[in-house]
């Protein structure tokens, strides 16, 4: 159960909040584990029982240059190691050895004929010469200069297949004909392929020699059989040749099973016994660099109890169908990338658990607020080799850890974290947008244990002065014990660089981060959250640099505080007991409709402050707007939840020498609203409806009414949501239509209520700003700064009801003046103009 499920539910929920949240249902999609093998012809078989002849026998015959894959030698070599089907096949492999030598000599002759461009012939191509009926004339050769070869080689490294435009530019620069450049690149590519062929032939010769030696030793062993009981020579006729083959194969498979169980134990975190492992006919042991069911490729499949990836780390990850993000990846490249992801996930999980459990040496307590600070020297000693490579130049590190009790059980929290939609609903103020780009594994045994997936997310701090962090990362879930789970995230930019790509989002890298969850009594969980990142500090405004570097912007404290507040809210909303301060006149359906409307309002407010990709914003640059004010515009068309026309958004952040708690209490107080809000008509407001969302009185959704001061003014309603936790606070509001709100409060659909949100986001100005509720305070003697708050003010206003209209300078200046006037009124009311 998450916020979306609750708000879309039509019936009221009963029972205690804590118990209901603790017993959230879990669902998981089943995966198909049919054994996939290859027959000798190379076709894919999908059968539950693998026949003996299903393993493709090797043929060491050289392939044509135009059809041979570049990297199929590792698959061949691993397949040869598993093909021990008797001396008949061994003899045929030995006979094929001569064929491979002949192929190798032929490749060298072809290479000699297609040498580097320094010996290219000046004239027509080979096809033109064959088509000519004239007697062959004497060939004229043209040797390129060293400078020309150097230029050609440099371009070849960047682009082995230049287009006609590139060849023309290169020929002009090197004083060559275009066909000479064309033939040089053709010959250079042929030379590259020939070198790869030669290297693969060398590997195949070594494997063939090894198999021949093994074949000879097996023949010798069969000539002199030994009794397994007494160790003496066995009598002729005691063991048949077929039984001896079976015993040899059985011993090999037993060793293989022991190795797989040891690797699986490392992956699962607990020992796996080869004797206790039940047979699983639908699973398979995958050896080699095969395609894992993603298309053509060489796979050797042997039935056993657990699957194994191509690395040294064991895994029982079920094969998932290819997604759009992986359809254009070659089978061998896809398999190599999967193995790299698995290895990175295991290393990141090991680092996360150590950082979550280690105390004194790795984490130090700060004097300001008692928060935990990472000891970087001890971190380097503990993790000498970073799992995603060295820190880029110019990047700084932020690290934080937080532990808290949350009213949710471990299974429900793990399911929330592994589902991108539920994850975004649980942390709406942190996650602007997220999606799961590829699912490598859904888990094992109907649980999320072993689930591995690629994700993309946009993380935000509610201020226009802090850019949105866009990250591509790997998320891995593992169960360490009964009721103990861990979920880790780690950036994958390093793997994509290794695979030939470039880092997509170079301004931030997420080192192993995540949480360790342990079930506690009464439906609670103990959550230890670790956030560790490297980022470019130059893009952050100086007002927020102290906050971000201390881990208070994107850090663990904010994640845990948001999780506690959201789970407490869900427990209260699902409880049958209505809080005493709530208005009982609102029906259960009306409460759900109002909460759904408030959720849409706050999400639109977040999108307008941080300029995420949820809406298509266009940034404006005008001379009459302050430097720290960001003005954006977008068109609202065919959206029933917004008025049609041109929407203007303006946001800025300022520092105030007031504690966050005092500032929050002032802004949410409806009786003091006339001191800063022009919508209040200059008088106090009355609270018409109240829905509590937490134990703190500041966590609620309210419906406010502004009284008309004279006959010319009309009364209006304002929907407001306020929330506060240890990391910060929010006050978001929007004027709403009175008839529409009557429909919502009676349980009607809130999707057709048009609104544009405005509001405030409040955070401490740094690690030392955790004072009381008094006014401007100093932390002590000279050199100590004043404790204060960072206030973000944002407005969204409809400046024209026609989407095709053009934005005027007067509209921009009006919104800019509105922000400046609001900030000045707040400063005057709190007596902090200086």
Same domain, 561 and 660: no
User: Where do we find the tokens 């949350």?
Assistant: 406
Distances (CA, A) of 738 to 657, 688, 715: 38, 12, 9
Within-domain flag for 470 = yes
Distance of CA 54 to the CA centre of its chain: 38
543: left (phi over 0), alpha (psi -120 to 50) or beta: alpha
CA distance 558 to 567: 14
Same domain, 341 and 390: yes
123: left (phi over 0), alpha (psi -120 to 50) or beta: left
CB 650 within 8 Å of CB 658: no
389: left (phi over 0), alpha (psi -120 to 50) or beta: left
**Residue finishing a domain among 553, 572, 591:** 572
CA distance 533 to 510: 5
Within-domain flag for 78 = no
CA distance 422 to 80: 47
Same domain, 386 and 499: yes
CB 180 within 8 Å of CB 171: yes
Distance of CA 565 to the CA centre of its chain: 25
Within-domain flag for 70 = no
Q: Is 529 helix (H, G, I), strand (E, B) or coil?
A: strand
Strand partners, 774: none
State the DSSP H helix or E strand holding residue 572, giving kind and residue range, or none if neither.
Answer: helix 556-574
Tokens of 183: 């033939």
Backbone dihedral angles phi then psi of residue 158, each to the nearest 5 degrees: -85, -40
Same domain, 551 and 665: no
State the DSSP H helix or E strand holding residue 601, giving kind and residue range, or none if neither.
Answer: helix 588-610
Same domain, 682 and 759: yes
**Residue finishing a domain among 521, 551, 572:** 572
CA distance 466 to 387: 27
Tokens of 544: 């927020």
Residue 53 DSSP code: G
DSSP string, 139-159: P-B-PPPHHHHHHHHHHHHH-
Same domain, 419 and 368: yes
CA distance 625 to 476: 46
Same domain, 480 and 375: yes
Distances (CA, A) of 364 to 374, 404, 512: 6, 18, 19
CA distance 184 to 560: 61
Within-domain flag for 231 = no
Residue 798 DSSP code: E
Strand partners, 599: none
Would you tell me how many other CB atoms lie within 10 Å of the CB of residue 403?
15
Within-domain flag for 101 = no
CA distance 636 to 646: 6
DSSP string, 714-748: --EEEEEEEEEETTEEEEEEEEE-HHHHHHHHTT-
Within-domain flag for 39 = no
Of 525, 512, 444, which is closest to residue 474 (Cα–Cα)? 512
Within-domain flag for 30 = no
Would you tell me how many other CB atoms lie within 10 Å of the CB of residue 376?
11
CA distance 507 to 509: 7
Residue 713: per-residue pLDDT:
59
CA distance 756 to 639: 12
CA distance 178 to 168: 6
CA distance 367 to 370: 6
Same domain, 642 and 527: no
CA distance 186 to 743: 73
Distance of CA 640 to the CA centre of its chain: 32
CA distance 658 to 666: 11
CA distance 418 to 448: 8
Q: Which long-range contacts (CB under 8 A, 24 or more apart) does 812-818 make?
A: 812/620, 812/622, 812/624, 812/625, 812/631, 812/648, 813/624, 813/625, 815/631, 815/648, 815/650, 816/624, 816/625, 816/626, 816/629, 816/631, 816/650, 818/650, 818/678
pLDDT in tens, 180-229: 899 999 999 999 999 999 999 999 999 999 999 988 888 887 777 777 66
Same domain, 466 and 497: yes
CA distance 613 to 433: 8
Outline where 669-728 has alpha helix (H): none
Residue 560: per-residue pLDDT:
96
CA distance 438 to 453: 6
CA distance 434 to 305: 36
Distances (CA, A) of 582 to 569, 573, 577, 694: 14, 12, 10, 12
Residue 800: per-residue pLDDT:
82
- 413 CB-contact burial (10 Å; exposed 0-12 / middle 13-18 / buried 19+): buried
CA distance 597 to 702: 12
Of 228, 214, 252, 222, which is closest to residue 240 (Cα–Cα)? 222
Would you tell me how many other CB atoms lie within 10 Å of the CB of residue 646?
21
List, for the chain, all residue ranges whose pLDDT scores fall below the cut of 70: 1-141, 228-229, 231-241, 263-335, 368-369, 494-506, 576, 578-585, 624, 681, 708-715, 768-786, 833-834
Distance of CA 99 to the CA centre of its chain: 49
Same domain, 568 and 596: no
**What are the residues whose beta carbons fall under 8 Å from the beta carbon of 324, sequence distance 6 or more?**
none
Within-domain flag for 88 = no
Outline where 358-429 has alpha helix (H): 376-382, 410-418, 420-426
Same domain, 500 and 372: yes
| Model confidence pTM above 0.75 | no
What residues make up the domain containing 171?
148-193
Tally of structural domains, the chain? 3
Same domain, 528 and 599: no
Q: Looking at residue 188, which CATH number applies to its domain?
A: 1.10.10.60
**Residue finishing a domain among 572, 593, 622:** 572
Q: Looking at residue 530, which CATH number applies to its domain?
A: 3.30.530.20
């Amino acid at each position: 159960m998450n916020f979306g499920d609750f708000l879309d539910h039509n019936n009221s929920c009963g029972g205690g909040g804590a118990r209901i949240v603790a017993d959230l249902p879990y669902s998981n999609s089943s995966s198909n584990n049919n054994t996939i093998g290859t027959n000798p012809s190379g076709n894919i078989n999908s059968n539950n029982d693998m026949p003996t002849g299903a393993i493709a026998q090797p043929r060491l015959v050289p392939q044509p240059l135009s059809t041979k894959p570049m990297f199929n030698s590792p698959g061949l070599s691993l397949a040869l190691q598993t093909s021990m089907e008797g001396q008949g096949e061994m003899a045929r492999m030995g006979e094929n050895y001569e064929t491979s030598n002949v192929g190798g000599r032929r490749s060298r002759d072809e290479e000699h004929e297609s040498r580097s461009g320094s010996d290219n012939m000046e004239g027509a191509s080979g096809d033109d010469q064959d088509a000519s009926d004239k007697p062959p004339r004497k060939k004229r050769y043209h040797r390129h200069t060293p400078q020309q070869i150097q230029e050609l080689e440099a371009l070849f490294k960047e682009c082995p297949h230049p287009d006609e435009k590139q060849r023309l530019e290169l020929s002009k620069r090197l004083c060559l004909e275009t066909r000479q450049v064309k033939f040089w690149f053709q010959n250079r590519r042929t030379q590259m392929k020939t070198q790869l062929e030669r290297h693969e032939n060398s590997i195949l010769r070594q494997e063939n020699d090894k198999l021949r030696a093994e074949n000879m030793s097996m023949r010798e062993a069969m000539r002199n059989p030994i009794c397994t009981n007494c160790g003496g020579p066995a009598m002729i006729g005691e063991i048949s040749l077929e039984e001896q083959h079976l015993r040899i194969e059985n011993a090999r498979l037993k060793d293989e099973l022991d190795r797989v169980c040891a690797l699986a134990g490392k992956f699962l975190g607990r020992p796996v016994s080869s004797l206790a492992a039940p047979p699983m006919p639908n699973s398979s042991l995958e050896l080699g660099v095969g395609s894992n069911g993603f298309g053509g490729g060489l796979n050797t499949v042997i039935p056993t109890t657990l699957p194994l990836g191509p690395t040294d780390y064991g895994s029982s990850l079920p094969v998932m169908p290819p997604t759009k993000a992986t359809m254009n990846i070659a089978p061998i490249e896809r398999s190599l990338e999967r193995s790299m992801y698995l290895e990175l996930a295991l290393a990141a999980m090991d680092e996360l658990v150590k950082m979550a459990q280690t105390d004194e040496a790795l984490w130090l307590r700060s004097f300001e607020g008692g928060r935990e600070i990472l000891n970087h020297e001890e971190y380097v000693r503990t993790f000498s080799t970073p799992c995603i490579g060295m820190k880029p130049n110019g990047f700084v590190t932020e690290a934080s850890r937080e532990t808290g009790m949350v009213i949710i059980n471990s299974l429900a929290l793990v399911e929330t974290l592994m589902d991108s939609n539920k994850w975004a609903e649980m942390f709406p103020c942190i996650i602007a947008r997220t999606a799961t780009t590829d699912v490598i594994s859904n888990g094992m045994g109907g649980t999320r244990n072993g689930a591995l997936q690629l994700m993309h997310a946009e993380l935000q701090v509610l201020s226009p002065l802090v850019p949105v962090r866009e990250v591509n990362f790997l998320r891995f879930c593992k169960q360490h014990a009964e009721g103990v789970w861990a979920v880790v995230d780690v950036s994958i930019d390093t793997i994509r660089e290794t695979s030939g790509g470039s880092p997509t989002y170079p301004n931030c890298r997420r080192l192993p981060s995540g949480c360790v969850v342990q079930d506690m009594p009464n439906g609670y969980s103990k959550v230890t959250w670790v956030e560790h990142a490297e980022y470019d500090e130059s893009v952050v405004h100086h007002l927020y640099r102290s906050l971000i570097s201390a881990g208070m912007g994107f850090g663990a404290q904010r994640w845990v505080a948001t999780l506690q507040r959201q789970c407490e809210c869900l427990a209260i909303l699902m409880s049958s007991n209505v809080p005493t301060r709530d208005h009982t006149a609102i029906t259960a359906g009306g409460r759900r409709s109002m909460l759904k409307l408030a959720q849409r309002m706050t999400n639109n407010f977040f999108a307008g402050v941080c300029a995420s990709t949820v809406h298509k914003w266009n940034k404006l640059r005008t001379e009459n707007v302050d430097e720290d004010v960001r003005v954006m515009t977008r068109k609202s068309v065919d959206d029933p939840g917004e008025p049609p026309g041109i929407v203007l958004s303006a946001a800025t952040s300022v520092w105030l020498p007031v504690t966050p708690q005092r500032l929050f209490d002032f802004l949410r107080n409806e009786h003091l609203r006339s001191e800063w809000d022009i919508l209040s008509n200059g008088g106090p407001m009355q609270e018409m409806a109240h829905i509590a969302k937490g134990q703190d009185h500041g966590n609620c959704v309210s419906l406010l009414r502004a009284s008309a001061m004279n006959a010319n003014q009309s009364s209006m309603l304002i929907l407001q949501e306020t929330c506060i936790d240890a990391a910060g606070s929010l006050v978001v509001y929007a004027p709403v239509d009175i008839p529409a709100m009557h429909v919502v409060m009676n349980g009607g659909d809130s999707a057709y209520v048009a609104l544009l949100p405005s509001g405030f986001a409040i955070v401490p100005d740094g690690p030392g700003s955790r004072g009381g509720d008094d006014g401007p305070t100093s932390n002590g003697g000279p050199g100590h700064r004043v404790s204060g708050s960072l206030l973000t003010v944002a407005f969204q206003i409809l400046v024209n009801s026609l989407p095709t209209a053009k934005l005027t300078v007067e509209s921009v200046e009006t919104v800019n003046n509105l922000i400046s006037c609001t900030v000045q009124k707040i400063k005057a009311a709190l007596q902090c103009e200086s």
